[in-house]
Amino acid sequence: MKKILLFSTLLVLAAQPAFSQPKLYIVRHAEKLANWPEETHGQFHPLSEAGVATANRLAKHFETMKFSAIYSSPATRTLHTAFPLSQKLGVAIESARALADTSAIDAFYAELSKKFKPGQSILLITHSNITPYLLMKAGMPRDCFDAMGIQKSMGSSWLVTEGYDNIYTVEKLGTPVGDCGGITRSKF
């Protein structure tokens, strides 16, 4: 009986991915101020009044959640979107290059998988043109673009997400399970 139990345990462990990983929640920054000089100050683009209200609504939505970490791109609008929730939960905002630079996503996901455990939750605040790539690197197939509100940007080859009230939940990185690779979209 002990040999059967040991063998069963080894089979289960062998079937597990080589890394552990927390649940990820990915959110686009809130609405930004109109008529901002993007060419010279794009990184510092602040939230509009509607954006501040959206950031507060996000904080209210997640106020009972236990996040192990909150990551943001280094842009002002993403940091300001994360700030109300960070203050409410007492979780510091950490800056992550991968939330503004698609070339850093693989390394960032590998870091999260080493640093956090299953059962923990991490919030990522990013941009409309980075979210699709975070989702694809997490295992979302291309045939889920419509379901996830992903479209081609007008006048650009970038993919973008629509709206400011989407929450993308990634259950397991790189291991497609169920529809859309186990990635879901909800609203707040």
For 58-120, give the DSSP string: HHHHTTT---SEEEE-SSHHHHHHHHHHHHHHT--EEE-GGGT-GGGHHHHHHHHHHH--TT-
Tell me what pLDDT residue 161 has: 96
- Mean pLDDT on 143-157: 92
Each residue's pLDDT tens digit, 24-69: 999 999 999 998 887 777 789 999 999 999 999 999 999 999 999 9
pLDDT at 15: 41
pLDDT tens digits along 74-124: 999 999 999 999 999 999 999 999 999 999 999 999 999 999 999 999 999
Domain assignment of residue 13, yes or no: no
| 6 within some domain | no
The more confidently predicted of residues 155 and 61 is: 61
Asked if residues 183 and 147 have their Cβ atoms less than 8 Å apart, the reply is no
What are the phi and psi torsion angles at 59 (to 5°)?
A: -60, -40
What integer is the mean pLDDT of 155-178? Answer: 87
Which residues 6+ apart lie within 8 Å of 137 measured at CB?
Answer: 105, 106, 109, 173, 174
The residue that leads in pLDDT, 155 or 144, is 144
Helix, strand, or coil here: 40?
A: helix
pLDDT greater at residue 187 or residue 38? 187
- Domain for residue 111, yes or no? yes
| 135 inside domain | yes
Would you say residue 86 lies in a domain?
yes
CATH of residue 128: 3.40.50.1240
Q: Answer whether residue 114 is part of any domain.
A: yes
Domain of 158, in residue numbers: 19-187
Q: Concatenated DSSP letters for 13-39?
A: HHHS-SS---EEEEEE--PBPSS--HH
pTM: 0.86
Structural domains counted in the chain: 1
pLDDT attached to residue 20 = 55
11 located within any domain: no
How much is the pLDDT for 176?
61
Query: What does the pLDDT read at residue 39?
Result: 75
| pLDDT-above-70 percentage for the chain | 87
Q: Residue 7: inside a domain, yes or no?
A: no
More confident: 13 or 158: 158
